[in-house]
Chains A and B, each alone.
Chain A
Amino acid sequence: MKKILALLLTLALCLSLVACGNSKDGAAGKDGEASKATEGAKNTEEIQNIVFAMPVTKVVDGIKQVEDEINKITESKINVHVTLEPISFADYGTQVGLMMSGGDQIDLITMVGNFSQLLAKNQLMPMDPYLDTLGAGAKEVLGEKFLKATTVNNSVYAFPTLNGKAAALSIAIEKDLLDANNISLENLKLATTFDEYVANLEELTKIFEKLKAAAPDKVCLVPITAGSLQFTLTMPGFDNLGDNYGVLSQDGTKVTNYFESAEYKTLLGYVHDWYKKGYILQDAATTTEAANTYLSSGRTVGYFITGEEGQAEQIQTATGVEVEVVKILQPTLTTSVINGLGFGISSTSKYPEATMKFLNEMYTNPDIVNLLDWGVEGIHYVKNSDGTVGFPEGVDANNTTYGLNQDWLFGNQFLSFIWGEGRDTTIYSRLQENNDTANYSPVLGFSYDSTAVKNELSAIVNVYNQYGPGLDTGTLDPETELPKYIEALKSAGIDAVIAEKQKQLDAWKEANNK
């Protein structure tokens, strides 16, 4: 028996050694290739190879073609070779962490709503040395306000994506139903104060009543993000300071507990009232189905959505249902709204200059932007006569080899073509104007680092998951459940989080002379 055991153990050991050996060989091989590549480059034109960890919504075959086309431009223009490393959005943060800790080359990383976490884990490199030289073009198009959102301790750590940021809370309602019953949305206004916002909700109550009478087997609202109808977690001039646990007071000085505020209670009153009256989907708190599925299958007449111009067109393309969309809340551009998406240089990068050169192209060179957004011209898209682009002959959404449609992500969206013949080609100038004229948070640029309170946060997130979706979809009665929610948040340590945020806010204000 012992012999057998010994044999097994030796075998296991051998195998593990083989496994280790293999992985080492593999790594060495890669390094070897990489160094060969860079050496080769040095001999010719000093072309540096950078790796762009690119988040994608789906796996596509055309990445290599796009990569080759991009390199045709970048190798001759800026001596940079880019390797596109597609990673699905769902695993993005984890994968990037693994690549960095595993010693894989990674130079350009994308922020997917995790700027402060990337910063706290020291995953981003400050850009200052290159900002006025290699990144000057990008710096100029982004402008001072946008860069503030990625500036910490006077160093810029990333470039936010440049697109229509002034996304406003809007209500989308089936147009046929509105027309057939003579219901008009003209009394809904872009609210700039809380009273106007409440007036909008009053008006919506009347509208829903008529809609419900006209279509009793449908509901009026479904959640667009799991467990929230959105309108209870925002209001005019609202800055949630990264998460909702401690938000900025209206005068911009104090960090307060939003869940204890009179405003939140008022909004919950509306949502619960609507739920009781049957305007909201019964399963709203738990459903994970997409709002568009409910709309196209005729189970709802509409939903709240946060977006910019052109929502109605997008919803119609996605669902085949013609909708009327009205913005009902003036958006506030906060740090986390602006730095939600963007690009930074990995702190492990050996080629920060090359990475910055490529980043600069992503904000200034329409050819690069359109390659990333729509693929290769002639293969993945063709230009239409009206200035928009669309699928070439014989290619459609089902058989295209690229079709990521991520024009809202890659660098400067205002340089990209507009997809879909007949679409409004002036929309970008309006989006740009909305960005410029939008309402900016008084503490724009303040990002908060939650490292010191992560124990509390993990408990608070659990409390939110327990009560939040129920309250925010109207399923739970705020009269009885809101006090429990507040109590549970307090016992999970929300006061400590608010105190920490306040401390960081005060320090930030002092450093920025505010």
Chain B
Amino acid sequence: MSKTTTKREKILWKRQIPLFLMTIPGCIYLMINNYIPIFGIFIAFKNIDYGKGIFKSDWVGLSNFTYLFKTKDAFIMTRNTVLYNLAFIIIGTVMGIAVGIMLSELRGKFKSKFYQTMILLPYLLSWVIVAYIGYAFMSNDTGLLNNTILPKLGLKPVSWYAEPKAWPFILTFVNIWKGIGYSSILYLSTIIGIDKSLYEAAQVDGASKWKQIRNITLPLLKPMVIMLVIMNIGRIFNSDFGLFYQLPMNSGALYPTTQTIDTYVYRGLMQLNDVSMSAAAGLYQSVVGFMLVIIANSIVRKVSSENALF
């Protein structure tokens, strides 16, 4: 008896070898890019003196962190970062699931491939290109909105790059537009993996499409949704630099609604060129993100323990 189980285990193990081999490049990448640099954390606590070398530079405690909190903008940038990320997580998840389900309902190979590609395309564009597409719409002198669309509708032109109130909507819209292809495909792949017999059984019982979605698709998507949300929460203190810096064309008038921790640090240190202060900002974001992941995960574990990440 025991012999057969070990044999079966061996076979299973053998089958998995190719899968493990496939993870190797990813692991190497993680090691080099994410683990080895951790050792540089100490730079955040030093005042770098190149004459003495990085290791022998003086320790300065937490003084490299103070600039993040001393300013009046600290509240604005933290608020913007967190609120935008929350909005992106909620709207992005809902839209991602909705589009994922819609894609899964498409019949016809050409149609579903066509829509998937079209929706994914913006995700592959660089932010700089997206920023100039935005500029083509919103520029004062030559923009499509001010020169063609708004006059036709009988509206006055808007100076988009000087109008902070419009940007929470623009940023959210562009971020969802750009990211939806990727997240919807993640959900789509989970939906495709759902056992078809469940739907057949439901159809036999006379369940409508809507009921099938609510009672089969959504509950089975839950683990995926929870995982993605927890991972996003871990990055709630980080913002997409391209979105917040490139898209508003670095326009100062928009800071009240576009300044985030990353853009503040970038702008503030462009002139000072201080390695330690940027390391401090990165460490601060990571530590807060790490704590949030732990908290979110422990909440999930309390509510539905089988869906917790760890």
Contact = CB atoms under 8 A, between A and B. Distances in A.
A459 B265 CA distance: 9
A282 interface: yes
Interface string A241-265: 0010000000000000000000000
Interface residues of A, number: 51
Interface in B35-59: 35-36, 48-54
A288 B52 CA distance: 39
Contact of A470 (B16, B73, B252): B252
A19 B31 contact: yes
A347 interface: yes
Nearest to A23: B36
B31 A4 contact: no
A455 interface: yes
Given A11-B27, A19-B32, A100 B50 contact: yes
Interface in B171-196: none
A479 to B, nearest CB: 16
Interface in B235-277: 249-253, 255, 259, 264-265, 267-275, 277
Contact of B264 (A117, A348, A462, A468): A462
Interface stretch (B63-71, B86-94, B115-123, B291-299): B63-71
Given A122-B51, A282-B141, A455-B70, A461 B249 contact: no
B24 interface: yes
Contacts of B249: 286, 288
Given A123-B50, A281-B141, A285-B253, A465 B272 contact: no
Contact of A465 (B28, B54, B267): B267
A470 B162 contact: yes
Of listed A7, A458, A462, residue having the most chain B CB within 10 A: A458
A4 B12 CA distance: 12
A81 to B, nearest CB: 24
A482 to B, nearest CB: 14
Given A288-B249, A465-B267, A459 B73 contact: yes
Contacts of B71: 458-459, 462, 492
Nearest to A243: B271
B72 interface: yes
B307 interface: no
Nearest to A287: B249
Interface string B108-146: 000000000000000000000000000000011100000
A461 B67 CA distance: 12
Given A123-B50, A462-B267, A450 B161 contact: no
A470 B253 contact: yes
DSSP majority for the A interface? Answer: helix
Interface string B15-35: 010001001100110111001
Contacts of B265: 458
A465 B32 contact: no
Nearest to A20: B36
Nearest to B32: A19
A47 B137 CA distance: 61
Of listed B23, B73, B162, B271, residue having the most chain A CB within 10 A: B271
30 contacts: A4-B16, A8-B27, A12-B30, A16-B31, A19-B31, A94-B273, A101-B48, A101-B50, A117-B272, A122-B50, A283-B140, A283-B141, A283-B161, A286-B249, A347-B50, A450-B272, A454-B272, A454-B277, A455-B66, A455-B67, A458-B269, A458-B272, A459-B67, A459-B72, A461-B267, A465-B252, A466-B252, A470-B253, A475-B162, A493-B70
Interface of A: 4, 7-8, 11-12, 15-16, 19-20, 93-94, 97, 100-101, 103, 114, 117, 121-123, 227, 243, 281-283, 285-286, 288, 347-348, 450, 454-459, 461-462, 465-470, 475-476, 488, 491-493
9 shortest interchain CB distances as A-B pairs: A458-B268, A122-B51, A455-B67, A459-B71, A282-B140, A466-B252, A347-B51, A286-B249, A466-B255
